Structure 1
Amino acid sequence: MCGIAGLLFKRPGANHVLGRALADMLDGCQHRGLDSTGLALYAERADDERLRLRFLVDDDPGLARIRSALADASATLLEERREGASVVVEVAYRGEIRPFAYAMEHAAKLVSLGHALDIIKDVGTARDLERIYGVDHVDGSHGIGHVRLATESEVKPEAAHPFWATGFADVAIVHNGQITNYWKMRRRLEARGFEFRTDNDSELVAVYLADKMAQGQSLEAALAQSVDDLDGTFSFLVSTREGIGYAKDRLAAKPMVMYEDDSLIAIASEEVSLNRLFPGQPLSTTEPAPGTFRTWSRSI
């Protein structure tokens, strides 16, 4: 079943801590998926010459491989820390992102890469992520999240959402549904040299959208094309360094509801998630129509 949530502050100081607000939203729809939970969080400001990478590493040899791969790529290690099932490294790097990302993924399981992006995901609930990773204290400008009910793959951290766009910086996705032309689209991208780390259709959608944007399309244009190119039933949220967006298939079998005011935009699978942001207050919400898409950008 799964549940998704997204939140963007239109300007700084929206009276919410990003990580806590998104965790609360996911806790509201946790009944849709108790197997794993994840957040993609974006820092308010980021250094263009500093990259954050989060790996799944459970042994010292894996950490040694990461350090060696960073040195081979001429990336200067600035910071390294363990958090739960992952290791976070921050590096100074000025080269091309795609070959660097693939090299890092050959060294260890890479969860996310970006100047502003950090994906925190693991088995368990939103409250588990608060306890283990302290996500409720992580602030930022916008983010997306997911609760997962495993149906086609194992319950393990790397199978949890969000997924980042493999080979690209600062693009992530959460998805409820199924892409039925997955292999056809994946083979097309692989023929152009793209690599995939999972068989999850959400990873495909992330790479598909990131590729469109790398070719000069806006996120809005990429989402518009996705409604035509993707077969199946889907509601998904995508996040970039600049903002968030959604797309729904024309059958609209997967739910989505949103709330917007002068300070924020919030989207989720169920209204109960939106109510967590404004407890006890009546909200005027809307449901995106079938086959629609939209984007929001933050004020910088």
Structure 2
Amino acid sequence: MCGIAGIFFKKAETNPTLGQALVDMLDGCQHRGLDSTGFALYENTFKGLRLRFIVDDDAGATVARVKAALAEQGAKLVNEKREGASFVVEVEYDGEIRPFAYAMEHAAKLVSIGSALDIIKDVGTAHDLDRIYGIKSIAGSHGVGHVRLATESEVKPEAAHPFWATGFSDVAIVHNGQITNYWKMRRRLEARGFEFRTDNDSELIAVYLADKLAQGETLELALEQSVDDLDGVFSFLVSTKDGIGFAKDRLAAKPMVMFENDDLVAIASEEVSLNRLFPGRPLSTTEPAPGTFRTWSR
């Protein structure tokens, strides 16, 4: 089943309630997926790149491989920390992102890379992750989240959502649905040199969109094209360093509801997630029509 949620604050690049808002929204739809939870958060708190890796039982060896790969790629390690199932580094690096990202992927399980993006995901609920990672204390401009009911892969941190656009910086996706022309589209991208780390169709959507952005297209145009290029049933949210957007297929089998005012836009699978942002207040919500898309950015 799974559930998705996203929020974009219109008036400030840093809002202290970002983490709290997404925890509340995902708690509202947690019944749609109790296996794992994840957040893609955008916070401008450092000047370089942040990379988050999943560490296994042999954490020491994983950390050593990551540090060796960073040195080999010419990235200067500025900060590091162990956190839950993750090893997080901040680095100074001014080379090409794709070869750097692929090299780091070969060293360890890379969850995200970006100058603003940080993906935090693990088994458990939104409140479980908050206790481990301190999600509620994270400030930022916008973010998306996902609760997962595992149907096609194992319940473990790296299989949780969101997914980042492998090989690109600051692009993440949360998705409810199934892309039926997955392998056809993946083979086309692989023929152009793109790499994939999972067989998850959410990763495909992220790379597909990030590739279009890298070619100079706007996020709005990329989403418009996605409605025609992607086969299947889907509702998804995409986030970049500058904003968020959504797209729905023309059958609209997967739910999505939206609330917008002068301060923010919030989108989720169910209205209960939006109500968590404004307890006790009636909300004027809308449901995006089939085959529609929209973006918000600064």
Give yes or no for contact 1:14–1:264 (8 Å, CA) kept in 2: no
Q: Map residues 42-81 of structure 1 onto 2, 5 A cutoff.
A: 42-44=42-44, 47=47, 50-58=48-56, 59-81=59-81
Q: Map residues 87-236 of structure 1 onto 2, 5 A cutoff.
A: 87-236=87-236
- Counterpart of 2:295, as a letter, is T
Residues 57 and 142 from structure 1, CA distance in 2 versus in 1: closer, same or farther, beyond 3 angstroms? same
Q: What runs of 5+ residues in structure 2 fail to find an aligned partner?
A: none
Q: Distance in 2 between matches of 1:94 and 1:286?
A: 43
Q: Which moved more, 1:245-254 or 1:14-23?
A: 14-23
Report the counterpart of residue 275 of structure 1 in structure 2. 275
Q: Distance in 2 between matches of 1:276 and 1:85?
A: 28
Give yes or no for contact 2:18–2:138 (8 Å, CA) kept in 1: yes
Report the counterpart of residue 2 of structure 1 in structure 2. 2
Q: Distance in 1 between matches of 2:105 and 2:14?
A: 36
Residues 247 and 13 from structure 1, CA distance in 2 versus in 1: closer, same or farther, beyond 3 angstroms? closer
Q: The residue matched to 1:238 in structure 2 has which SS?
A: strand
- Counterpart of 2:132, as a letter, is I
Residues 13 and 226 from structure 1, CA distance in 2 versus in 1: closer, same or farther, beyond 3 angstroms? closer
Q: Distance in 1 between matches of 2:240 and 2:45?
A: 13
Give yes or no for contact 1:29–1:273 (8 Å, CA) kept in 2: yes
Instruction: Report how far residue 11 of structure 1 moved.
Output: 1.1
Q: Distance in 2 between matches of 1:144 and 1:297?
A: 14
Residues 15 and 52 from structure 1, CA distance in 2 versus in 1: closer, same or farther, beyond 3 angstroms? closer
Report the counterpart of residue 295 of structure 1 in structure 2. 295
Q: The residue matched to 1:128 in structure 2 has which SS?
A: helix
Q: Distance in 1 between matches of 2:157 and 2:218?
A: 31
Q: The residue matched to 1:228 in structure 2 has which SS?
A: helix
Q: The residue matched to 1:202 in structure 2 has which SS?
A: helix
Calculate the TM-score normalised by the size of structure 2: 0.98
Query: How well do the aligned residues superpose, as a CA RMSD in angstroms?
Result: 1.1
Q: Distance in 2 between matches of 1:247 and 1:184?
A: 20
Report the counterpart of residue 20 of structure 1 in structure 2. 20
Q: Distance in 2 between matches of 1:112 and 1:266?
A: 23
Residues 13 and 275 from structure 1, CA distance in 2 versus in 1: closer, same or farther, beyond 3 angstroms? farther
Is 1:82 equivalent to 2:58 in the alignment? no
Q: The residue matched to 2:166 in structure 1 has which SS?
A: coil
Give yes or no for contact 2:14–2:140 (8 Å, CA) kept in 1: no
Instruction: Report how far residue 16 of structure 1 moved.
Output: 5.5
Calculate the TM-score normalised by the size of structure 1: 0.97
Deviations 1:18-37 (A, max 9, x none): 01100100000000000000
- Counterpart of 1:246, as a letter, is F
Q: Give the aligned length.
A: 296
Deviations 1:157-201 (A, max 9, x none): 111000000000000000000000000000000000000000000
Residues 245 and 173 from structure 1, CA distance in 2 versus in 1: closer, same or farther, beyond 3 angstroms? same
